[in-house]
Amino acid sequence: MMLPRILLMLSLLVLGVFGLRVPRSPDKKVKDIFPDLLDAGTDELMKGLKQKHFTSVDLVKAYLRRIQEVQSQLHVVTEINPDAISIAQTLDAERAHGKLRSALHGLPMLVKDNIATNDKMNNSAGSFALLGAKVPRDSTVVAKLKAAGVIIIGKSSMSEWANFRSGFDNSCNGWSAHGGQVLGAYAADQDPSGSSSGSAVGASLGLAFAALGTETSASIIFPGSVNNAVGIKPTVGLTSRALVIPVSERQDTVGPLARTVTDAAHVLNIIAGKDPSDSYTNAQPFSQPPDYTKYLKKNFLEGKRIGIPRNAFLPIGDSNIDAPILATFEAAIKELKVAGAIIIDNANFSQWEEYYNSSVTFYGAVNLVVAIDFITNLPQYFAKLTTNPNDITSLSALRDFTQHNPHENYPTRDTAVFDAALTVTGDNTAPGFQAFADQTHAWGTYGGVTGALDTYRLDALVMPSMYAPGVPALAGLPIVTVPMGKYPAGTQVQRLGPCGLVAVAPNVPIGLSFLGAAWSEEELIGCAFAYEQRTLVRDKVRPIVMPTSQLEDVVGH
């Protein structure tokens, strides 16, 4: 854990971005010229670049200072891009010559440490097993971002192997050997949730314009929810997974974490689309994905039929945890009604109980399908590496490495998920496997989301985000989470899980999720935007760890 931190500090020194922390100037004129990076979105940043108030180099320097301010406390990134400044210089020069590659030309983003970049940065899933490994090219989503003029400023830290290494009683959200322990910024010692922990924290604190995360089940929606961020979990196949470290080809998807629905929609516009290197993208029902920013309409909820699948709510049974979630949810439902939505309560999932019963045992179909995909898909990723420093080509070799490399903190942190997956024989083409996959798909569709949409003739479903991801995951269906509220003053602080992180405390954010049919992202984005603009919840929930570096601290210095 020491080594990456030292490297990070060295890189920051080389880039010359250390310096005094200057508090935010109250001067209104300065604010008009330099938007507050805690909240600045696409429009303000692009306007400032256009009007030459600042450059992309300034933006990179300011975001790097913000990362440096919080890194020793929150461990948000595993690495920063040593070439970020020179990439920004190139994009500034293009802008000066009138060339703009996209609506996000020259904006810096973080990408999760399981999404490969073919540059000096590692793609490790948080593990020492892949440090020094090389990929033949950028992941397709990163290639699209780069082609659009987005600067990849660093890799955001994650739960190691996307929470697919250690057992439930032994796995800590946001911990990885390479990245250390990511913490949330809304309460002391806050559990950042996972596995896209650093992406959500980084987006939320304005450590970059936005971030990419990945989700197999919950990994964008949960951290988005508890970090006061917007997260889009796209339909599996809307965004390419080529050169993204896999868990399950049936469930994995890459999507944005951002501060606003608008920013997230802009990112999705860039990364969505077909890719010959990911056959699932052939299922897209359009030749080009829609322009998602066209659905950012304040009146979008008028006349929409929105269902609540009450029987799929998963309260823990502790009112200190459950009651604020349910109370903020009921307030959100009132807002949706005032916005003109028609609410259909008890639009239940018909096979919820079958799904739930299966999900709570490792050898139930729900976990078995993901495990068989994992043992099949992970070696396929290893096989694509052009440099594989530890010669790891299988899950059993990875387990062996993890149990013997001192950085991997074994056996304090076990390999229970690897162990369980390795008891499964065959691969995901084995006879008999398809029946399990068909079963879980049916629980997600007919017995779940699409069944409820059809039965009650709905445009979308809503749920508290902490209850939402399980059923859509089974069939690769989309979700958008948006800030809904926070735990109130007086909430009893609760440390949960093996690392004793604070999962529940005053000020911990709570999200609202919109769920829908495959390829219905524009519908969910429209609903989430209309709700966000009515309520502006994000602005009312403020972090307790606040980076102070701003553009005015770097412009002209």
Ligand X SMILES: *[C@@H]1O[C@H](CO)[C@@H](O)[C@H](O)[C@H]1NC(C)=O
Q: Near ligand X by CB under 6 A, which window of 53-61, 117-125, 244-252, 407-415? A: 117-125
47 a catalytic residue: no
Give 470-520 as a 3 state SS string: HHHHHCCCCEEEEEEEECCCCCCCEEECCCCEEEECCCCEEEEEEECCCCC
Per annotation, catalytic residue among 139, 159, 166, 219: 219
Binding flags for ligand X, 355-374, as an x/- string (CB under 6 A): --x-----------------
Alpha helices in 339-463 (DSSP H): 352-359, 365-384, 395-404, 416-422, 433-444, 449-455
Q: Which residue is nearest to ligand X (CB)?
A: 311
CB of 461 to ligand X, least distance (A): 13
The single-letter code of the amino acid at 384 is K
- Told to check if 545 binds ligand X by CB under 6 A, we report no
The single-letter code of the amino acid at 503 is A
* Cis peptide upstream of residue 195 (ω within 30 degrees of 0): yes
Q: Identify residues 272-301 at the interface with ligand X (CB under 6 A).
A: none
Q: Identify residues 300-359 at the interface with ligand X (CB under 6 A).
A: 310-311, 346, 348, 353-354, 357
Q: Near ligand X by CB under 6 A, which window of 115-123, 269-277, 390-398, 459-467? A: 115-123
Among 45, 49, 121, 142, contact with ligand X (rule: CB under 6 A): 121
| C-alpha dist (Å) from residue 153 to 174, 181, 198, 362, 513 | 20, 20, 13, 38, 29
Question: Which two tokens mark 440?
Answer: 């879980």
Q: Near ligand X by CB under 6 A, which window of 26-34, 116-124, 289-297, 394-402? A: 116-124
112 a catalytic residue: yes
The nearer residue to ligand X, 79 or 532, going by C-beta atoms, is: 79
Cβ atoms within 10 Å of 303's Cβ, excluding its own: 10
Q: Positive or negative, the Cα torsion across 363, 365, 366, 372?
A: positive
CB of 491 to ligand X, least distance (A): 25
- Told to check if 127 binds ligand X by CB under 6 A, we report no
- Told to check if 12 binds ligand X by CB under 6 A, we report no
Give Cα 154 distance to the centre of its chain.
Answer: 15
Query: Residue 308: helix, strand or coil by DSSP?
Result: strand
Q: Do residues 548 and 205 lie in contact, with contact meaning Cβ atoms separated by under 8 Å? A: no
- Told to check if 408 binds ligand X by CB under 6 A, we report no
176 a catalytic residue: no
CB of 118 to ligand X, least distance (A): 13
Question: Which two tokens mark 339?
Answer: 């916005």
The nearer residue to ligand X, 82 or 497, going by C-beta atoms, is: 82
The nearer residue to ligand X, 50 or 120, going by C-beta atoms, is: 120
Which residues, in sequence order, are bridge partners of residue 342? 305
CA–CA separation, 230 and 169 (whole Å): 28
CB of 87 to ligand X, least distance (A): 14
- Told to check if 82 binds ligand X by CB under 6 A, we report yes
- Told to check if 83 binds ligand X by CB under 6 A, we report no
Which residues, in sequence order, are bridge partners of residue 232? 480
CA–CA separation, 178 and 405 (whole Å): 12
The nearer residue to ligand X, 280 or 356, going by C-beta atoms, is: 356
- Told to check if 462 binds ligand X by CB under 6 A, we report no
CA–CA separation, 5 and 180 (whole Å): 9
Considering just the CA atoms, what is the radius of gyration of the chain in Å? 22
Among 79, 252, 414, 521, contact with ligand X (rule: CB under 6 A): 79
- Told to check if 453 binds ligand X by CB under 6 A, we report no
- Told to check if 71 binds ligand X by CB under 6 A, we report no
Q: Which spans of this chain sit near ligand X (rule: CB under 6 A)?
A: 7, 79, 82, 120-122, 131-132, 310-311, 346, 348, 353-354, 357
